[in-house]
Amino acid sequence: MNPNLSRLQAYPFERLRQLFSTVTPNPAYRPISLGIGEPRHPTPDLIKDAYCDAIRSADGGLSVYPATAGDAKLRSSMVRWLERRYGLQLDAATQVLPINGSREALFAFAQTVVNPEKADARGPVQVVCPNPFYQIYEGAALLCGAQPYFVASDPARNFAQDWDSVPADVWARTQLLYVCSPGNPAGAVMPLSEWAKLFALSDQYGFVIASDECYSEIYFRDEPPLGGLEAAAKLGRSDFKNLVSFTSLSKRSNVPGMRSGFCAGDAKLIKQFLLYRTYHGSAMSMVVQTASAAAWDDEAHVVDNRAQYRDKFAQVTPMLAEVMDVALPDAGFYLWAKVEGSDTDFARDLLALYNVTVLPGSYLAREAHGSNPGAQRIRMALVAEAAECVEAAQRIVQFVKSRVS
Query: DSSP letters along 8-77, please?
Result: PPPPHHHHHHHHTTT----TTS--EE-SS----SPPPHHHHHHHHHHHHSSSTT-SSPPPTT--HHHHHH
Convert the pLDDT of each residue in 153-169 to its tens digit: 999 999 999 999 999 99
Residue type, 402: S
Q: What percent of the chain has pLDDT over 90?
A: 94
Strand ranges across the sheet with 359-360: 334-338, 377-381, 359-360
How much is the pLDDT for 119? 76
> 324: which DSSP letter?
S
What is the rounded distance in angstroms from the CA atom of residue 57 to the CA atom of residue 320?
50
In which residue ranges of the chain is CATH 3.90.1150.10 found? 3-42+301-404
Query: Residue 185, preceding bond cis, omega within 30 degrees?
Result: yes
Residues 6+ apart with CB under 8 A from 234: 192
Question: In the prediction, which pLDDT does 120 show?
Answer: 79
- Does domain 60-298 fall under CATH 3.60.150.10? My reply is no
Residue 300: count other Cβ atoms within 10 Å of its Cβ.
9
Short-list 30, 37, 43, CA closest to 13: 37
Find the mean pLDDT for residues 9-18. 95
Q: How far apart, in whole angstroms, are the C-alpha atoms of residue 263 and residue 245? A: 5
pLDDT(60) > 70: no
Every domain of the chain with CATH number 3.40.640.10 lies at 60-298
- pLDDT tens figures, 188-210: 999 999 999 999 999 999 999 99
Exposure of 134 by Cβ count < 10 A (0-12 exposed, 13-18 middle, 19+ buried)?
A: buried
Give the model's confidence band at 58: pLDDT under 50 very low, under 70 low, under 90 confident, else very high. Answer: low
Rounded distance, CA 262 to CA 26, Å?
Answer: 43
Q: Which CATH architecture has domain 3-42+301-404?
A: Alpha-Beta Complex (3.90)
Which sign does the torsion angle of CA 251, 36, 307, 310 carry?
negative
Return the pLDDT at 61.
73
